[in-house]
A and B are shown apart, each in its own frame.
Chain A
Amino acid sequence: MPEASPRPPHPVTASITLGLAVGVFGVSFGVLATASGLSIAKTCALSLLVFTGASQFTAVSVHASGGSSASALASALLLAARNGAYGLAMSRRMRGGVPRRLLAAHLTLDESTAMASAQPDDRDAEKAFWITGLAVFVFWNLGTLVGALVGDHIGDPTRYGLDAAFPVGFVALLMPQLRAQPSRVAALGGAAIALVLIPLTPVGVPVLAAGVAALAGLFVPRGAR
C-alpha cells in the first residue's frame, strides 16, 4: 500500500500551478463584480481583504440578483466558516506567536491547508502553507485587478475545464494522506456526509459538516497514527 501511494507534490511548482488556475478565476471575479456595478476599488478590496473566493462570488451574485444584504452576508459567511476549521487544523502544525498566527490566518484557505496537510513533516507543512497561501494571494488579486480593469478577454474558465482544477488538485493532495487507516475512515466519512447534505442544506454546510468525520480520531487504538 505505501509503495503505491503517491508522494506529496513539491510546494513551489504545485502552488504556482494551482495559483494560475486561481488567477483565471480571479479575472472572472473581477469581471463579474464590476459588471454587477461594483467600483474597481470595492472589487479589489474584496479580493485583498475578504480573500475567500467562494464567499466573494456568492456575495456579488446575491447582490446582483437583487437579494438583501443580510442574505448575501449570511450565504457568504456560511462559506467562509470552514476556514475556521482549517485554522484549527493548521494551528497544531505551525510555530510562532500570536502576531505570526494572525498573519497566517489571512492565508488560511482550501488550497494552503490542503497543500500543507499533504506534507507528513511539520516543517514542510508550514513551508507549504506559506508558499501556497502567498501564491494564491498574489494570483487571486492580480487576476481580480486584471478582470476589473481590462474586462473579459480570457472567457469563461469552465471552457478550459478549470472548474475541475480544484477538485483535481485536492484529489492529488488527499492521496498521500490515505496511508493510515484512521485517515481513510475520516475521508470516507467526510465524502459521505458531503454527498448526503448537498441537496439538503445551504451551500457551504456540506463541507463544514464533513468535519464531523474527523471524530474517527476518537476510535483509534493507542499507538496507531
Chain B
Amino acid sequence: MSWLFIGLLVAGAYGFKAFGSVVLIGRMLPAPLDRCLALLPAALLPALIVVGTFSSGRHLTIDARAAGVGVAAIAAWKRVPFPVVIVVGSAVTALVRALA
C-alpha cells in the first residue's frame, strides 16, 4: 500500500465527512426537507443494526450475534444501563458462539 493510496483514501474519506458537515451551513431548508434530515439517524441506525447482526459480507446469516442483539434489545427496553447492555449483548454472543 503506497503513501499515494493512503493519501487518496484519506482525501476521499474526509471529503465525504467534510462535505456533509459544511454544505448546509447558513442555509434555511424547507421544513419538509429539514424533517427528513432529522429522521436520517432513525433510518440509518436500523440499517447498521441489520448489517451488523445479520450479514457476513454479502450473505444474510443468523448466528450468535442475533441472540446477543436480541437479549440486549430486551435489556435496553427494560432500562438496563448502557454499559451493562453492551456487556450482556457481547457475553451472550460469545456464549452462544462457544456452545454452537
Contacts and interface: CB of A to CB of B under 8 A. Distances in A.
B58 A211 contact: no
B20 A83 contact: yes
Contacts of B40: 85-86, 88-89, 211, 214
B22 A105 contact: yes
Interface in A169-225: 169-175, 177-178, 182-183, 186-191, 193-195, 198-199, 201-203, 206-207, 209-218, 220
Interface of B (DSSP majority class): helix
A102 B72 CA distance: 35
**Interface size of B as a range:** 35 or more
Nearest to A21: B86
A136 interface: no
A177 B76 CA distance: 13
Interface string A50-64: 111001000110010
Contact of A89 (B29, B41, B59): B41
A80 to B, nearest CB: 4
B6 A55 contact: no
Contact of A6 (B35, B59, B60, B77): B77
Given A83-B17, A170-B49, A175-B76, A77 B9 contact: yes
Contacts, number: 314
Nearest to B3: A42
Given A167-B65, A187-B46, A7 B79 contact: yes
Nearest to A177: B42
Interface of B: 1-3, 5-6, 8-10, 12-14, 16-25, 29, 32-55, 57-60, 64-65, 68-69, 72-73, 76-77, 79, 81-83, 85-87, 89-95, 97
Interface of A: 4-7, 9-10, 13-14, 16-18, 21, 38, 42, 45-46, 49-52, 55, 59-60, 63, 69, 72-73, 76-77, 80-92, 94, 97-98, 101-102, 104-106, 108, 110, 113-114, 116-117, 158-175, 177-178, 182-183, 186-191, 193-195, 198-199, 201-203, 206-207, 209-218, 220
5 contacts: A17-B82, A49-B6, A164-B90, A167-B48, A210-B47
